Amino acid sequence: MGQLAEYFNAIGRTILTCSDGLAVTFSHLFRKPITIQYPDRTAKPLTEMLPERSRGILEMDQELCTGCSLCSKQCPINCITIDVQKNAETKERILNKFVIDIGKCMFCGLCVEACKFSAIRHSKEFEGTVSDVNRLKINFVEQPAPVAKPKKGEDPVLKPVGSIIRKYLADQWAPAANKSSDTNSGGKSE
């Protein structure tokens, strides 16, 4: 008798639990979707909607970089290439090349932590699709120039987040006619 009761109990439990589960999902039909359609239904530019410390594509400010190459030494996958040469006459160190390969970068942020002069940092940009993988190697040095010499106790003047990388990303993506004309674009470092 006990087994028979268990049999019918199982049927009853199945019906009750299944129908209550169905009631839960049915009630979801009358809730507003919480997702926002990207990119054309966002209330403001997506980069402004991202969290404060989100790790986007790296950017480097040439006016702050001392060419110490601490960042490239910290990088676990060696995606930062820095070329600094000493001018024999003026004894000045010249920053020739500062290339970050975004295709390799894993956004760990170790380079940002290593930099003592706030020259390298994460932007909030993430839309980095290109037609050629080599165009992901971005050279942040437009014109070889002497490295920065920050004075002690003085705060560095930071540019707005994303203002540096945005130009390079837009360049990469620009129409073909424009591409050939501006050869100085950092996007084509190779």
From CA 56, how far away is CA 58, in angstroms rounded? 6
Quick one: which of 9, 26, 108, 158 contacts other proteins (CB under 8 A)? 26
Question: Is residue 3 within the footprint of other proteins (CB under 8 A)?
Answer: no
Q: Which stretch binds other proteins (CB under 8 A): 15-23, 61-69, 74-82, 148-156?
A: 15-23
Residues 170, 173, 178, 184, CA torsion sign: positive
Local structure of 12: helix, strand or coil: helix
Dihedral angle at the C-alpha atoms of 93, 68, 190, 138, nearest 10 degrees? Answer: -120
Question: Is residue 12 within the footprint of other proteins (CB under 8 A)?
Answer: no
Cα 167–chain centre separation? 14
**Nearer Cβ to other proteins (5/157):** 5
From CA 24, how far away is CA 112, in angstroms rounded? 46
CB-count exposure of residue 30 (10 Å: 0-12, 13-18, 19+): exposed
Question: Is residue 25 within the footprint of other proteins (CB under 8 A)?
Answer: yes
Question: Is residue 88 within the footprint of other proteins (CB under 8 A)?
Answer: no
At CA 160, angle to CA 158 and CA 163, rounded to 5?
Answer: 115
**Nearer Cβ to other proteins (111/169):** 169
**Nearer Cβ to other proteins (95/136):** 136
CB of 175 to other proteins, least distance (A): 5
**Nearer Cβ to other proteins (45/146):** 45
What are the residue ranges of helices labelled H in 29-84? 46-49, 70-74
Contacting other proteins within 107-166 (CB under 8 A): 125, 127, 166
CB of 137 to other proteins, least distance (A): 18
CB of 32 to other proteins, least distance (A): 4
Residues interacting with other proteins, by CB under 8 A?
10-11, 18-37, 39-47, 125, 127, 166, 169-170, 173-175, 177-178
